[in-house]
Each structure stands twice: as structure tokens, then as C-alpha cells.
Amino acid sequence: TANSTDDVLRKKAIVVGAGPVGCLAALSLAKAGWNVGLYEGRPDIRLESSRLNVAQRSINLAISSRGIAALYAVDPAMATRFLKSAIPMRGRMIHDEAGNQESQSYDPQGGQCINSLERGILNEELLDQAAAHPSITVYFQHKLTTVDFDKKVASFSSTTPEGKIQAAEATFDFCVGADGSYSNVRRQMMRVVRMDYQQEYIAHEYIELRMPPGPVVDGSTTFLIDPNHLHIWPRHSFMLIALPNKDKSFTCTLFAPKEELTRLDRPHTILNWFREHFPDALALIGEDTLLVDFARNPRSSLISIKARPYHYRGRAIIIGDAAHSMVPFYGQGLNCGLEDVRILQTIFSARGIDGYASSKKPKVHFEVEGDVDVDKALEAALEEYSRTRHEDLTAISELAMKNYVEMRHDVTTPLYRILKAIDTLLASLTPSVPFDFLAPLLTRVSYRHTQTRGWIPLYTMVTFRPDISYGVARERAAWQARVLRTAGLATLSLASAAGGLAVWWGINRRRLFF
């Protein structure tokens, strides 16, 4: 299946799914010399006609250092452009039931931010880059139906511009499944791989609502609430969050138990419920807008998927949501999917794997010099990826699940605030590592860092330290929590002993002195 371009024989990779992860994977492979076919089941999202028809999952999302590091590893200029079109959020803004607001910084020491980015901008720009690359061909309206991994042939059901449905085939040397939570590549792989697989729908669902821009002041539109925060209205068993958009609106997401949302089926029930739980948000969103969004927007479920292994021999791999869909409460689903691409790129690079099939291959900046038996090397590389990545993917999936309770409940409790203050105080003893310093290193150094020193809050490790793997972050945080618990217990014991001594002293003082 090797293709000849410019006198150099190239191997052919197919990437199924032109979501953000698939596009980045295509760019990464093309950069390493592969001829890439990028296959997308839906029409081109950049076309006006499909914008109206395609139901987007969420309007915007938070992208943090891991995602940016992955973009940077493939194309530093692209990472910089994304950061320019994003809105930095430096902390959570907690809105209590009385309408008070409290800012909780994400990184009090280093001042690092997460970034609100419109999903459409991210996906469209990545698609633009992929479509413009001479080694990538994008096929829209090509829905993968089956794959014969041993014959290295993928079959698609394609729709012609005239609307005719026909079968299409593609041969490949390497197949990447980036086709999202309901991945067909994963399903096809399950027929030939002893894959452990687990999926769980959580009891909560979500619906998106829009908070409009504020009034025009001095000729420009304003935001109704502070744009540099991720706003949370925690209400213990449910919550509302809001992320800023470039047009000065906010996209709000209401997460609540399915039964709670089912009860909200009439305009007056919806309004009364909002008046009771989110009166300040209701005033900002507006009653009419709220009712329109409730009627028009879908209520969506949240799924968590774990699989293992992620590959089949030296032929195929699943990445992104196809491999590890997670609940969105750590804001890491996409970050983690993009990181999959960076890690795969690092493993390939370290093993000297590229897409050139001829000995005339141009000099590529790899750590291994000379020719490599690509088929064997590819199998070993994919095996290494499956073996080392699993712990990290399980870790972030479980952390994401736990973070829901932190966001909707814990943030309101005094104990959370005390522990957070101690965490921050201890972290101030460890120097923070700025991302600008880390990013260029991450394209070269080992992808699984285990030598973490000092005290680093869990949120900082997960969100701002792509050099620390999710698994190590979780281990490290568990150790820090144990230290805090032991110190807390020791303080409590000392305080009780001191109290007891004081009482004893008070009772016996008379007897001792008189």
C-alpha cells in the first residue's frame, strides 16, 4: 500500500474521524512522512449548510496545558494561534444561593489559566490545517462500516454530492481510530483483539443554555459576568456552570440527575425551579431565552468508557474518546485525547518510526538513526503505548468522576477551603514551572515523568503540568492527602492532649498549691 510521491515511497495511514483528535493525529503522521487519508462520516463542518444540521456536543470547552503541549508538539505556531483565540480563565467563580460570588484561583502561585475555546473554531482550524497539508486527503461523508485489519482494508459508506450512497474502500498500512465515544474502529478491533471494555452512563445528564452578551458600553459589547473565570453555581446534587465566548456571551451547562431534568417539562416548572435555585443566573440569562433553550436544546447523557488494549498488532490503534470517553468534570477529555497524539508521536520518534518506505527517505529529526524494520517497530511501539498509557487513562477517568462531587458540593464546604488553603501554602514552598519553559521540552524528553519533587496540588499537576502523567499525578496526590490527614490527626491529638492537660491543671491547681 506504499504510495509514491516525489520519488519517495511513503506508507499509508488512515485516520477515521476528523474531530479534533483525528485531525491532530493526521497532522502528526503527515509530519513524519506518512500519506494520510482522513475519513469523516459527517459533511464538512466548515460549510454553512452543515453548521445548521450538525448537533454540536458542547459549544465551548476548556483547553489547558496538556492540550496546548500536544498542539505545540505537532505545530508550535498553531498552538500559539489557538491561545490567541481563547479566553483565559484564571479560577473558579463560585456563586452561592444568596447571590454572593467568591473567586478561587486555579494556580494562586503561578497564575496559570485554563482557556475557554469554541469547539467549532478548534475543529475548523485543525481541519483547515489538515486539508491544506500536501500529504493529507480529507474524505467527508465517508462513514466507516467494516475493517479487515489482516488484509489492511477499510470499507466506508460514502454519500456523493448528489446524495447517492455508495460503497468505498481504502487500503492502509496503519489505521487510527479517532471516531469518538461510539467508535466503530473500536468495535471492529474487538472482533480480533481480546479487548477488555467497560462503559458506564452516569445518573446525571446535561443541557446547554446561553447567557447573552451584556449592554453596549462606550461602543463595545460587554460581558454580564467576569469573563476570566469559569463560573459555577454549585447546588450539591446538581450545578450550573458557564464558560465565556468571544462574542461576550456565556455558554452555560446545567448538570443534574436525569429525574430532576425530567421534572422540568413545563415553562412554569422550569422558571420556578430556576427562581428557587439560580435566581441570579436566571436574571442574567433571561426568562424567555431560558425557555427557548430548554425547548430547543437536547438533553444529553454522559458516558465513561474504558478499554484495554488500545491497539491491534502493528496495524491499528484507537485514541481520543474512541479509547477513553470520560465525564467532563475535570475539563480533560479533549486535552487527554490530544495528549494521546503527542505521546504516540514521542514513542514513534524514539523508535525511529516514520512513514517513509524507501531507503531514499529524507532526513527527519528522530532520536534513532538509520533504517528500522517499520512493521515490527510499529507493533512494539503500539504495544508500548497500550501498556504505559492505560494507567494514565484510568487515572484521569476516575479523577474526572470524583471532580463532579468537588464542583457541585465540596467547593461550598469550610473543610474544602481549609484544605485548599493548606495545599496552596505548602505548594508555595515548591517553585512553579511555567508552561513556556515546559512546552519546548515536551517534544523531546521522556513522556512519562516520575521524578516529581515538592508539593504540587492535584489540580495543578493535572491541568498545568503535562510533564507529569495523570497516573503519577494521582499517586502523588494520594500521598499528599495522606500527609495532610496524618498531620491533621496529629494536630487534633496534640490539641486534645493540650486541652486535657489544661483541664487537669485547672482542677488540680488548688490542690497542688494550697
Binding site for ligand FAD (CB under 6 A): 16-22, 39-42, 57-58, 61-62, 143-144, 178-180, 184, 206, 253, 320-321, 328, 331-335, 337
Of the pair 224, 327, the CB lying nearest ligand FAD is at 327
Of the pair 68, 374, the CB lying nearest ligand FAD is at 68
CB 241: neighbour CB atoms within 10 A?
23
Q: In angstroms, give the least distance from the CB of 109 to ligand FAD.
A: 23
**Overall residue count recorded for the chain in this entry:** 514
Q: In angstroms, give the least distance from the CB of 385 to ligand FAD.
A: 16
Of the pair 310, 356, the CB lying nearest ligand FAD is at 310
Q: In angstroms, give the least distance from the CB of 318 to ligand FAD.
A: 9
Separation between Cα atoms, residue 391 and residue 397, nearest integer Å: 10
Q: What is the DSSP string of 87-154?
A: EEE-EEEEE-TTS-EEEEES-TTT---EEEEEHHHHHHHHHHHHHHSTTEEEESSEEEEEEETTTTEE
Q: In angstroms, give the least distance from the CB of 63 to ligand FAD.
A: 6
Q: In angstroms, give the least distance from the CB of 5 to ligand FAD.
A: 25
- Describe the strand order of the beta sheet including 250-257 as a list of residue ranges: 101-105, 91-95, 229-234, 239-244, 250-257, 196-211, 300-308
Of the pair 21, 353, the CB lying nearest ligand FAD is at 21
Residue showing the smallest CB distance to ligand FAD in the complex: 19
Q: In angstroms, give the least distance from the CB of 492 to ligand FAD.
A: 38
Q: How far is CA 126 from the centre of its chain?
A: 16
Q: In angstroms, give the least distance from the CB of 426 to ligand FAD.
A: 27
Of the pair 17, 244, the CB lying nearest ligand FAD is at 17
251 contacts 208 by C-beta, under 8 angstroms:
yes
203 contacts 35 by C-beta, under 8 angstroms:
no
Of the pair 241, 427, the CB lying nearest ligand FAD is at 241
Residues 6+ away with beta carbon under 8 Å from 404: 202, 204, 255, 327, 329
Of the pair 40, 293, the CB lying nearest ligand FAD is at 40
Closest CA relative to residue 118, chosen from 243, 240, 17 = 243
Separation between Cα atoms, residue 165 and residue 179, nearest integer Å: 20
- The DSSP output letter for 356 is B
Separation between Cα atoms, residue 81 and residue 21, nearest integer Å: 17
Of the pair 123, 349, the CB lying nearest ligand FAD is at 123
Of the pair 207, 284, the CB lying nearest ligand FAD is at 207
* Burial class for 482, CB neighbours closer than 10 Å (0-12, 13-18, 19+): exposed
Strand partners, 8: 5
Of the pair 18, 69, the CB lying nearest ligand FAD is at 18
Closest CA relative to residue 267, chosen from 282, 249, 256, 250 = 282
Q: In angstroms, give the least distance from the CB of 112 to ligand FAD.
A: 16
Residues 6+ away with beta carbon under 8 Å from 325: 180, 181, 199, 303, 304, 305, 333
Phi, psi at 272, each rounded to 5°: -60, -40
* Burial class for 313, CB neighbours closer than 10 Å (0-12, 13-18, 19+): middle
Of the pair 104, 430, the CB lying nearest ligand FAD is at 104
Q: In angstroms, give the least distance from the CB of 232 to ligand FAD.
A: 13
- According to DSSP, the β-strands at 165-171 and 174-177 are unpaired
All three cell numbers of 486 = 496524618
What is residue 481's three-state secondary structure?
Answer: helix
Q: In angstroms, give the least distance from the CB of 66 to ligand FAD.
A: 8
Q: In angstroms, give the least distance from the CB of 83 to ligand FAD.
A: 15
Q: In angstroms, give the least distance from the CB of 179 to ligand FAD.
A: 4
Of the pair 14, 374, the CB lying nearest ligand FAD is at 14
Amino acid at 320: G
